Every structure is written in structure tokens, then in C-alpha cells.
């Protein structure tokens, strides 16, 4: 098993289970006690650690098919990442956020609820991405700071239209509560083998940004969560598509040192663009090839 850097957080699984079994109200009580902060701090930038992959059945990192399946290990990595200077908060589904609340790891952090996880990885219905996670009323009730939704659009798949309409209504519901919602749009296509591939060409990312920016009756509370394109030189033109604030998506970057260096350089350049206010990264920080979570997180924070 990978190490997680110096002084990993202690996660007492037995105590978490005891609380859940005997005192389920402890989650709401912890949410009510949580020390809150503004979405943007003094720097005006955001560094968010993402851990909403498991709820979509996406447990793999690189060549490790079930890297994220050990919940105690994932929680230790998350607590360590959240303890590092410059990390603003976390994006996750209810089960993980509930655990982090019970561990007391979310004080003074931005908490983002992941909203639609119904498009299970590899499923035939993957693009009919139902809202099976946090609802706007849940995020409001728990005092969380924002929500995030995934919007994959395949022009040949009718399921994309269902997701598109549902996403628009969630944008409306979040705006009615004055809660930010981060929309992560992709143009996606089926491969010959039936798998789903996100198109990261400049043209596709530009089109996805244009579509996502127009969702709902107001864009006042909408943010974008966007990937760096295959051609990083095109990012300035791509990001000129919208005036909505955006964060970069930091996806799986491979295990090699050269892969990591190339990804960091692409992120660094894109973070200089005027609409880009930060980044959201998950597996690349929580499961780095060398196992040093603290170093990976610190390096990403340094890009800001």
C-alpha cells in the first residue's frame, strides 16, 4: 500500500461506525457546528480536493483498478490533503462528507456537494446522468458552500438531453438559494467498443463551455469546472468563450515523472488566464505514483 506522506491522519473506523449506528444525528450536529468561511479567501483563488469518484463506480487510479476502494485509506489521504497550507476545501458525495464531518476535518474549509452520480462508469445508461447525490436543499440544509454537477453531452445519445434539462433545473434551484454551482461540461463520444471518451479538443471544450454557460434562468451563481485542452496553447481562446469564473479540472495524469511535469506545466499556464480562479484535483493528488500525498498537494498549491 502507498504511504500518504508524513503524519497521516488517524481514522478510527470503529468509532465512525459506532456513531453512524447509535447516533446518526451526529452528522447533522457536526454540520451545524462546522466553522464556515467564504467561498473565496483573501487570495481570490481556490484549491479544492475532489473525492466524488467512488459513487460513480470509478475506483481506479492509473493502473490500480480499486485504489479508491479502501474507505479508511481514502479518508486518511483526504484529511492529510485538507491539512496542507493553501488547500481550501473538498468536493465529495454525502457518504464521504459525512465521514469528514464526524472526523472534524471540515472546519474552515469550503465544502462542495457532488450532485449527479447516476451515470455509472461503463454503464449503458452512463450519459443519462441522474441526480442521485446531493440535492440543492441538502446543500442548503447542511450549510455547505457549493454544489457540483457533471454534464456530458453526446450528440448521438438521447440520455444527454435528459441530463441537460435536469442540470438546468438544478442551476435554477441553486441560484434561488444563492448557492454557487460548479458545472463540469464535456462533449463525449462512444468508442467503437462502446466505451465513453471525453473530447478534449479545443473545439469540443469551447462548445461545452458555451452550452454550460447558458443553463438555467440565471448564470449569477454558476461556475465552470473545465479540463485543459489537448492543445494547451489554445486555452486562452477556449476560455474566452465565457465570462463565468472557472476552475481547472485536474484529472488522472499518469504515473511517470514526465507525465506529472507536463500536466503541472499545462495547469500553470492555464491558471494565468483571467477567468480561471483555481483548480479542483482529486486522484492525481490523493494517489500520486510515489505515494507522497503531502508533496503532491503542496506542488499543486504552488501552481496558484
pLDDT in tens, 39-56: 998 889 999 999 999 998
Report the C-alpha gap between 103 and 75 in whole angstroms.
9
Q: Is the pLDDT of residue 59 over 50?
A: yes
pLDDT, tens digit, 9 for 90 and up, residues 79-120: 999 999 999 999 999 999 999 999 999 999 999 999 999 889
Q: What is the pLDDT of residue 250?
A: 82
Percentage above 90 pLDDT, the chain: 70
pLDDT, tens digit, 9 for 90 and up, residues 161-193: 989 999 999 999 999 999 999 999 999 999 888
pLDDT band at 248 (very low <50, low <70, confident <90, very high): very high
pLDDT band at 213 (very low <50, low <70, confident <90, very high): very high
| Domains located in the chain, CATH noted | 13-303 (3.20.20.70)
**Counting Cβ atoms within 10 Å, is residue 120 exposed (0-12), middle (13-18) or buried (19+)?**
middle
Query: Which positions ≥6 away from 153 have C-beta within 8 Å?
Result: 160, 163, 164, 185, 186, 187, 188, 208, 211
Give 140 or 159, the one with higher predicted confidence.
140
Q: Is the pLDDT of residue 62 over 90?
A: no
Q: Is the pLDDT of residue 242 over 70?
A: yes
With vertex at residue 268, the alpha carbon angle to CA 63 and CA 202, rounded to the nearest 5 degrees, is: 75
Mean pLDDT for the chain overall: 91
pLDDT, tens digit, 9 for 90 and up, residues 214-228: 999 999 999 999 999
Q: Is the pLDDT of residue 244 over 90?
A: yes
Q: Is the pLDDT of residue 255 over 70?
A: no
Question: Integer distance in angstroms from the first to the last C-alpha of the chain?
Answer: 30
Amino acid at each position: 500500500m502507498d504511504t500518504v506522506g508524513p503524519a497521516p491522519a488517524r481514522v478510527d473506523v470503529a468509532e465512525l461506525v459506532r456513531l453512524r449506528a447509535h447516533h446518526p444525528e451526529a452528522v447533522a450536529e457536526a454540520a451545524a457546528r462546522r466553522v464556515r468561511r467564504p467561498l473565496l479567501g483573501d487570495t481570490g483563488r481556490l484549491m479544492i480536493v475532489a473525492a466524488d469518484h467512488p459513487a460513480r463506480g470509478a475506483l481506479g487510479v492509473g493502473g490500480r483498478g480499486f485504489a479508491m476502494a479502501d474507505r479508511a485509506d481514502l479518508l486518511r489521504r483526504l484529511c492529510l490533503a485538507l491539512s496542507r497550507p493553501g488547500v481550501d476545501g473538498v468536493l465529495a458525495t454525502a457518504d464521504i462528507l459525512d465521514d469528514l464531518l464526524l472526523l472534524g476535518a471540515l472546519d474552515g474549509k469550503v465544502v462542495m456537494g457532488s450532485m449527479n452520480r447516476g451515470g455509472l462508469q461503463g454503464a449503458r445508461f452512463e450519459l443519462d446522468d441522474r441526480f442521485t447525490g446531493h440535492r440543492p436543499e441538502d446543500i442548503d440544509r447542511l450549510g455547505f458552500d457549493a454544489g457540483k454537477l457533471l454534464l456530458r453531452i453526446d450528440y448521438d445519445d438521447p440520455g444527454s438531453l435528459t441530463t441537460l434539462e435536469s442540470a438546468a433545473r438544478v442551476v435554477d434551484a441553486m441560484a434561488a438559494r444563492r448557492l454557487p454551482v460548479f458545472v463540469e461540461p464535456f462533449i463525449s463520444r462512444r468508442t467503437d467498443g462502446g466505451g465513453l471518451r471525453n473530447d478534449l479538443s479545443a473545439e469540443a471544450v469551447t462548445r461545452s463551455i458555451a452550452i454550460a454557460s447558458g443553463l438555467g434562468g440565471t448564470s449569477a451563481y454558476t461556475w465552470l469546472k473545465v479540463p485543459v485542452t489537448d492543445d494547451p496553447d489554445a486555452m486562452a481562446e477556449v476560455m474566452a468563450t465565457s465570462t463565468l469564473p472557472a476552475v481547472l479540472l485536474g484529472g488522472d495524469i499518469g504515473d511517470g515523472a514526465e507525465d506529472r511535469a507536463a500536466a503541472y506545466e499545462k495547469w500553470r499556464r492555464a491558471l494565468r488566464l483571467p477567468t480561471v480562479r483555481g483548480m479542483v484535483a482529486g486522484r492525481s493528488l490523493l494517489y500520486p505514483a510515489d505515494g507522497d500525498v503531502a508533496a503532491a498537494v503542496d506542488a499543486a498549491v504552488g501552481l496558484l
